[in-house]
Structures are given as structure tokens and as C-alpha cells.
């Protein structure tokens, strides 16, 4: 036997040491204690004051460090989300990775014409159907901001489109607390009641403060409603280095984490043990264009650092990949998406969203989404690592085949090649003549064809029955008329 032998089952990657994390956390607590946060909600201020915070004029709240430590003790380190079929598909805990789309994009690239246009209800249904068909897309956010629904409660219509298109778990958005409660009621109609939802949540709610250190009333409403009804909260600051946060990487992490911790504390004050997922889209502001960058190395580095911090705090984490600053689905989009998917997987982030985003988070592309699915499959092979033991070292096989032989027909090859060698579905490995004979199709052509094939043939299982769809529409109509 061998002793003191260490084996890596997957490649290892880490940005921050524990000592660095502790420094960032200490700086965040200093910001909360000395600078404070603005809480634009009466109940939120009251809960914080009763919990031990100092509340001054203009809703300025200063939060002592003991409140941070207390909240960290009660936040669950494990959250489970279910699909419409009731299966507990997403187990959010240390180093379990899942990939999904992003939400609320005002523009959409038409899957047939390629035209950039306003997102409509049908686009969200179609995006959900494509996501439902892709084996490496694990959860669904709307990918669109529906423009053909009443602005006052577009979020309910958006959720209906999501329900119609996929049975996978969801991360939703809402206008305010009432919008969240309505979507909770809709989900309860689908799964069979409030208690069923509480035991197996169908969705988590995305909520975002305004960096730096402003928590609007609508954001606090979502925090409090989610805690009250057992809805996992995905609390996501989105600071930009040099714009709404310090330009230094450590500075943006400290400032953004302060906002995150304020949301965590509020959720635990409302209901101890409320599900909380931390994270954010922490990135750089391009000083030449003022663009909030989605393809920058700073975003990749900061998101990986957030994963390190979340694992240290024992809280599930929300991250980003598969997105680009490119305006179209091109080589830039593929480059930026591929790097981000690999780094997000290596970081061990739990909910990895925004896959399929173009134009710095303004446009959605289903072609991009199917490329992401292929890339995630490739990255999963990388992350499976290299198994080293007597069987895989294959010394006896080398001896059996001998000098100058080949391994193609050896039983060892037949036994292992399917698990050792990754086989693409979209990436082309033909020789040049074969590629020409097959139509000289580019990756873009193959992605577009796959999208159209899915839209023309795929339906989610279980299908949302038309009677239930009508009941949900009636519920939305009643809610809006009240």
C-alpha cells in the first residue's frame, strides 16, 4: 500500500486564501458599522433596530458586527430547488455546480431572422423550451423582459411563459413584494399548494440592492416576502469597479459584500433559517465606453473570489458565465463565454446564470445558449479530472500491445474510451473534404439549426395542461383588477 498519497478528483482552483477572505470580511463589517446602509422600508428599519442596529435620520442604518455573525449562524448552508415534476434537482451546497440562463433582457435576437428586436412573451416561452431541451442547462431564468404585457405586472406574465416552456427549476424576478406573492400563489397552484412549495420550492427570487449601500423599498419587500413564504432569496449586488464601487478588486469585494450581508441579516431577522443565496455580478466599468462589462477578466476573477468567500461563510453562491459584451453571436462571444464557463465551474459556484447573454446584458441569443450547453459539456469533462490507479495506468495493456502496435481493438480501449474521451455534438472534427461535403457549415450555422430543430419538435415534460394555463391567466387578470 501507499501512504500519505493525495489525489485530486477534479482540477483545483482558488483565488483567495482564508486570510484574505477574513480581511475582506472585516472590511465589510467596518463599512456596515461605520458607514452604514440606507434601508428605504419602514419594516426593514424596524427589524434592524430591534435586532441591535443603530438607526439615524434618512433611513441610515449602522449594523454592528455581532449581527453579521448571528445571521451567518442561522442561514442554511444547503438549499434545494425542485422542478415542476417535484424532483429535487438543484442541491445548492459546497462545490455543486449548476448552469442556467439570465433574466429580464429588453432585446432578443430572433431565432429565425437573427433580427434584434424587443422581447415578447413568445420569446420567453421559446427560450424556456430550448433550455428545457438542453441537458447541461439546469435552471431557467426568463432571458427576457416581456414588452407585450402590462408594465404594472409584466412579471406575472413572464413567470407564466416560463412555466409553459420548461419544467426545470426557476429563478424569477418580480416588480415588488406583491408581484412576488402573486408568483408564489401561481407556483402553489401548479405544485399543489403552499405547503408543497415550502417543502420543495419551485423557484428562488432574484433581488438586487443599488450599489453602493442603498436598499430600495421594493428590494426590501422581496427580502421580507421571501422569508415569510419560504422562498429562497438570491441576493445579488451588481457593483462596477470604478463606478459604483472602489476600482480595486479588494475594494469592490468589501463594498459589495457589505450590501450582501445587510440583505442576509434582514432575511434572518424576518424568519430565522430563511434560505439565502449570496453572490453578485461584480465587474469593471469600462472607462472608455462606461459599459458594465460582461466579458472582462475582472468579472471572472471577482466571481471566482465571491465563490471562495461564500464557501468560507458556508452560504450557497450565485455566479455568472456564458455571456459576452459582443453585440452578435460571433467569435468574441464564443471566446468570452468559454473562458467564463470554465472559470465558473472551477470556482465551484452553485447557481451559474446569464448563459446566453449578449450586448453586456441587453440581448438574449438562443444560438449562444446552445453553444453554452456544448461548452458546459466540455468543461464538465475537464472538471472530471484524471483518475490514476492500476487500471488507468494500463502498464499491462502497453505490454500486451507491444512496441509498434496499436490500441484501437484492445479490450481496454473498448472498455474505457466512452468515459475517457469526450464526444462533441456541435463542434466539428471532420476533415476538410468531409466538412465541405456536409455543406461547409460554421458553428453559427450548426447552433442556429439546433435551436430551430428544438423549437419545431420539443415540448417540456410534464406539459402544463391548457386548463391550468387558463386558470393562471385568470388569476393574473384578477390580481391586476384588484
Same domain membership, residue 328 and residue 404 = no
Same domain membership, residue 344 and residue 416 = no
Same domain membership, residue 285 and residue 368 = yes
Same domain membership, residue 398 and residue 273 = no
pLDDT of the residue at 5: 79
Tally the domains of the chain: 2
**Within a domain: residue 186?**
yes
**Within a domain: residue 44?**
no
Bridge-partner residues for 118, per DSSP?
107
**Within a domain: residue 21?**
no
pLDDT of the residue at 3: 74
Same domain membership, residue 269 and residue 204 = yes
Residue span of the structural domain in which 408 resides: 390-420
**Within a domain: residue 218?**
yes
**Within a domain: residue 114?**
yes
**Which tens digit of pLDDT belongs to each residue from 110-157?**
999 999 999 999 999 999 999 999 999 999 999 999 999 998 899 999
Q: Cell for 168?
A: 426545470
Q: 242 vs 251, 284, 360, 374, CA distance in Å?
A: 10, 7, 17, 35
The DSSP string of 409-478 is T-HHHHHHHHHHS---SSS----HHHHHHTT---HHHHHHHHHHHHHHH---SS---HHHHHHHHHHHHH
- CA-based Rg of the chain, rounded to a whole angstrom? 24
pLDDT of the residue at 12: 86
pTM: 0.96
pLDDT of the residue at 280: 82
**Within a domain: residue 279?**
yes
Residue carrying the nine cell digits 419551485: 202
Q: What is the CATH number of the domain that holds 203?
A: 3.20.20.480
pLDDT of the residue at 1: 67
Q: 369 vs 19, 46, 340, 353, 444, CA distance in Å?
A: 38, 44, 14, 11, 12
Same domain membership, residue 264 and residue 193 = yes
Residues in the chain with pLDDT < 50?
Answer: none
**Within a domain: residue 31?**
no
Residue carrying the nine cell digits 457589505: 258
pLDDT of the residue at 482: 66
Amino acid at each position: 500500500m501507499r501512504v500519505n498519497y493525495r489525489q485530486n478528483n477534479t482540477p483545483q482552483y482558488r483565488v483567495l486564501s482564508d486570510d484574505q477572505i477574513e480581511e475582506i470580511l472585516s472590511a465589510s463589517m467596518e463599512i456596515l458599522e461605520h458607514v452604514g446602509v440606507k434601508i428605504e422600508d419602514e419594516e426593514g428599519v424596524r427589524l434592524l433596530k430591534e435586532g441591535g442596529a443603530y438607526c439615524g435620520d434618512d433611513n441610515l442604518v449602522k449594523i454592528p458586527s455581532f449581527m453579521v455573525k448571528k445571521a451567518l449562524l442561522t442561514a442554511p448552508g444547503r438549499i434545494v430547488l425542485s422542478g415542476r415534476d417535484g424532483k429535487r434537482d438543484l442541491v445548492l451546497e459546497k462545490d455543486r455546480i449548476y448552469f442556467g440562463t439570465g433574466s429580464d433582457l429588453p432585446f432578443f435576437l430572433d431565432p429565425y431572422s437573427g433580427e434584434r428586436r424587443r422581447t415578447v412573451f413568445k420569446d420567453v416561452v421559446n427560450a424556456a423550451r430550448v433550455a428545457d431541451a438542453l441537458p447541461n442547462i439546469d435552471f431557467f431564468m426568463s432571458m427576457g423582459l416581456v414588452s407585450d404585457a402590462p408594465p404594472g405586472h409584466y412579471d406575472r406574465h413572464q413567470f407564466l411563459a416560463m412555466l409553459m416552456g420548461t419544467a426545470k427549476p426557476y429563478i424569477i424576478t418580480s416588480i415588488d413584494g406583491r408581484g412576488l406573492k402573486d408568483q408564489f400563489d401561481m407556483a402553489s397552484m401548479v405544485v399543489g399548494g403552499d405547503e408543497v412549495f415550502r417543502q420543495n420550492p419551485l423557484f428562488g427570487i432574484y433581488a438586487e440592492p443599488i450599489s453602493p449601500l442603498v436598499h430600495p423599498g421594493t428590494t426590501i419587500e422581496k427580502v421580507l416576502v421571501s422569508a415569510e413564504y419560504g422562498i429562497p432569496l438570491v441576493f445579488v449586488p451588481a457593483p462596477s469597479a470604478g463606478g459604483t464601487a472602489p476600482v480595486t478588486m479588494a475594494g469592490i469585494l468589501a463594498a459589495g459584500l457589505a450590501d450582501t450581508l445587510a440583505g442576509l441579516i434582514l432575511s434572518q431577522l424576518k424568519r430565522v433559517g430563511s434560505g439565502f443565496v449570496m453572490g453578485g455580478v461584480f465587474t469593471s466599468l469600462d472607462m472608455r465606453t462606461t459599459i458594465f462589462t460582461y466579458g472582462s477578466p475582472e468579472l471572472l476573477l471577482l466571481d471566482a473570489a465571491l465563490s471562495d468567500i461564500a464557501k468560507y461563510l458556508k452560504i450557497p453562491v450565485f455566479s455568472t458565465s456564458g455571456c459576452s459584451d459582443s453585440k452578435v453571436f460571433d467569435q468574441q462571444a464564443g471566446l468570452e463565454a468559454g473562458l467564463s464557463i470554465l472559470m465558473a465551474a472551477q470556482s465551484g459556484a452553485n447557481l451559474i446564470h446569464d448563459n446566453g447573454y449578449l450586448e453586456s446584458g441587453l440581448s438574449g441569443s438562443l444560438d449562444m445558449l446552445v453553444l453554452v450547453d456544448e461548452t458546459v459539456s466540455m468543461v464538465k469533462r475537464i472538471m472530471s479530472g484524471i483518475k490514476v490507479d492500476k487500471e488507468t495506468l494500463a502498464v499491462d495493456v502497453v505490454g500486451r500491445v507491444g512496441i509498434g502496435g496499436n490500441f484501437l481493438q484492445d479490450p481496454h480501449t473498448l472498455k474505457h474510451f466512452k468515459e475517457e474521451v469526450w464526444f462533441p455534438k456541435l463542434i466539428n472534427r471532420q476533415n476538410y473534404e468531409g466538412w465541405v461535403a456536409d455543406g461547409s457549415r460554421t458553428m453559427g450555422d450548426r447552433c442556429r439549426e439546433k435551436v430551430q430543430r428544438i423549437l419545431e419538435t420539443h415540448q417540456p415534460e410534464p406539459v402544463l395542461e391548457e386548463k391550468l394555463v387558463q386558470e393562471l391567466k385568470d388569476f393574473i387578470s384578477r390580481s391586476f383588477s384588484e
